[in-house]
């Protein structure tokens, strides 16, 4: 299921972790549930992300599932050339 949190689409970690690799994506706490953002958070004061150049010094590479997919897609495209 997709939920809204502060105007952003989120999914529960427990619902997606068995289907996709969620390593290096920021996991947030939302009312006691662990959640992932589907799209870029777009808030430089909150996260760090390779894809959207957001940074706060956390050792996490991506702020959302979309940002991780974007970087991995670019890397796969470059390797196939």
DSSP one-letter string for 45-60: TT--BTTTTB-SS-S-
Task: Find out whether 68 and 37 touch, Cβ atoms under 8 Å.
Answer: no
| Residue ranges in the chain modelled with pLDDT below 50 | none
By 3-state DSSP, what share of the chain in percent is helix, strand and coil, each rounded to 5?
Answer: 25, 25, 50
For the stretch 41-55, pLDDT in tens is 766 555 567 777 655
Can you give the pLDDT at residue 56? 52
How many structural domains comprise the chain?
1
> Against a cut of 0.85, is the pTM above it?
no
For 12, the domain range is: 2-80
């Amino acid at each position: 299921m997709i939920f809204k949190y502060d105007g952003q689409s989120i999914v529960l970690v427990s619902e997606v972790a068995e289907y996709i690799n969620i390593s290096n994506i920021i996991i947030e706490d939302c009312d006691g549930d662990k959640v992932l953002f589907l799209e870029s958070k777009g808030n430089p004061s909150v996260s760090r992300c390779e894809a959207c150049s957001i940074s706060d010094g956390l050792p996490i590479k991506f702020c959302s599932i979309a940002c991780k997919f974007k970087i991995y897609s670019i890397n796969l495209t470059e390797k196939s050339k």
